[in-house]
Amino acid sequence: MTPVRPWDAFTSAEAEVRAMVADPRWQGLSVPDRAHVLAARILVTPDGDRWLFGAHARWHLHDPADGRWHLAPPPRGVRARQVQHPAAVLPDVVIPNGPDFHAEPGSTQAFIGPDVSEDLTERLRVLLRASGRKSELDYPLTAFDEIFASDVPSTVAAIWGTIMWCAYAPAFDGNERLITVFGEYLRRSLPGDEWVRWLPAPPLLDLVTLVSERQEAGRPRAALRLAAIMADTAQILLSDTRFRPRALALLTMVEPMLRRPGLNADLTDAEALRAAWLERCPRRLCRALLVENDPESHFSHAVYDLVEALSFTPDPPMAAATFLADLSDSKGALPARLDHRLRRAYGELDRAGLTGTSASESTEPDGFPVQGGVLTKPAPAPEVAPPDRTSAAAVLGAAYATGLAWGTLTGAKVPQGGLAGQAALVRRLVPERDDNHTDHT
């Protein structure tokens, strides 16, 4: 007999809200009416916390200090009851609009541990080989010149840029073939070491610049070729859930140019062309573009992913705080952006002198712990012990994505050797990174 899963208030409330938003009548409701029906389904836990399943098909936690609602995954399995909440105090940003509930599911896993499939890698290698034969005179390198040598054509940069922009968290095994196939084109060694390449996530503007420069130079066919290479690359990346959400978004932005070659041909300014691309993306893919449109919200979603990836721990907010403690926050701007549970956990670490740590303070250059050395600060993150490599890869990806999101928001730099908590997790994945596991969900 199949065991029956125990009833969970959060699962039940989530199912109710999903059914309401999926109902065609939802689109006909005014925002106040939507707020009214949502307010009737707010849950309260024994500690007094109030939870709402709302916009982006994610949970929001009410902050009793200032009344704000923060993105926050709920404590599954904890008792909760439904309470009436004043609908008028629900801000519009937590009310689902409908399309936001259809976001493409992705994966928070980094590319350390579970390898990219051989089929995906081979298809990109073939595309790269053909693109590498183009002339740099016809396709000058107008972006990604810090990555590639000056004689590399922008067709190669278009493939690289698409991979990095589409990746949820571009941290790769040092020997990941998807990256090593670019070896002959690189200007210098990639950030990181033989174990992990901690790669930067480029802005969409870098990809757009490759196209707009050719349009400005009066080479529309070359501009279309670059757009087609980006589309071809994104199409290949769709098969891996770690790329899929942004790959879909990029396809919706680029493919109209290929179907209508004259579309946006007059836009030679990169910023103007970027705006035109972003306008074409449907609302159901809006979360994939928060990194471009709303860095504040993008960071909040990354923190949500991190806490959710740590759900196997006894205290996910405290576990997440150990990774947030690695972020550079000289202006003290981080705590105000956290929900009160995370803020409390982060405060405990701060009072213990465990915030603002870095990988250089706790690890050797190759990412392994210092043996017999003296640490300037202890790193709390190694206390997190994922039960398996899939969980470890998910935490690693979410933690790195959070670091990148923080950098986009504040300008803080991620150390080339990774952050302390991430480097500690790498030790769990290095021995297993070359198997054939392909479950990236």
In a domain, 437, yes or no: no
Q: Are 143 and 81 in contact (CB under 8 A)?
A: no
Q: What is the pLDDT of residue 435?
A: 47
Residue 195 shares a structural domain with residue 232: yes
Which of residues 289, 304, 328 is at a domain's end? 289
Domain span including residue 44: 9-102
- Written as six digits, the tokens of 260 are 């209508």
User: What's the number of domains the chain is made of?
Assistant: 3
Is 392 found in the same domain as 250? no
Residue 409 falls inside a structural domain: yes
Whether the per-residue pLDDT at 341 is higher than 90: the answer is: yes
Return mean pLDDT, the chain: 88
Q: Is 204 a domain residue?
A: yes
Look at residue 216 and tell me if it is in a domain. yes
- Is the domain of 330 the same as that of 371? yes
Task: Write down the pLDDT at residue 419.
Answer: 87
Residues 285 and 149 in one domain: yes
Instruction: Quote the CA–CA distance of 123 and 82 in Å, as a whole number.
Output: 51
CA 69 to CA 297: how far, in whole Å? Answer: 12
Whether residue 256 is found in the same domain as residue 381 = no
Same domain, 229 and 346: no
**b/e map of 382-405 (b: 16 or more CB within 10 Å)?**
bebebeebbbbbbbbbbbbbbbbb
Note whether 32 and 78 are same-domain residues.
Answer: yes
Cα-based distances in Å from 118 to 123, 239, 392, 441: 9, 11, 22, 17
416: confidence class by pLDDT, cuts 50, 70, 90: confident
Per DSSP, helices labelled H in 260-369 are: 270-280, 290-293, 295-309, 316-324, 340-351, 359-362
d(CA 50, CA 40): 12
Model confidence over 60-69: pLDDT tens digits?
Answer: 999 998 899 9
* 419 and 312 co-located in one domain: yes
Q: Are residues 243 and 340 in the same domain?
A: no
- The predicted model scores a pTM of 0.90
Q: Tell me whether residue 367 is in a domain.
A: yes
Structural domain ending residue among the three candidates 234, 256, 289: 289
> Would you say residue 392 lies in a domain?
yes
The pLDDT of residue 301 is above 60: yes
- Asked if residue 382 belongs to a domain, the reply is yes
Q: Which long-range contacts (CB under 8 A, 24 or more apart) does 85-89 make?
A: 85/39, 85/40, 85/42, 85/50, 85/52, 86/39, 87/32, 87/35, 87/36, 87/38, 87/39, 88/32, 88/35
For residues 210 and 359, membership in a common domain is answered with: no
Residue 434 has pLDDT above 70, yes or no: no
Phi, then psi, of 51 in degrees rounded to 5: -125, 140
Would you mind telling me the total number of residues written for the chain in this entry?
441
Same domain, 202 and 235: yes
Same domain, 336 and 253: no
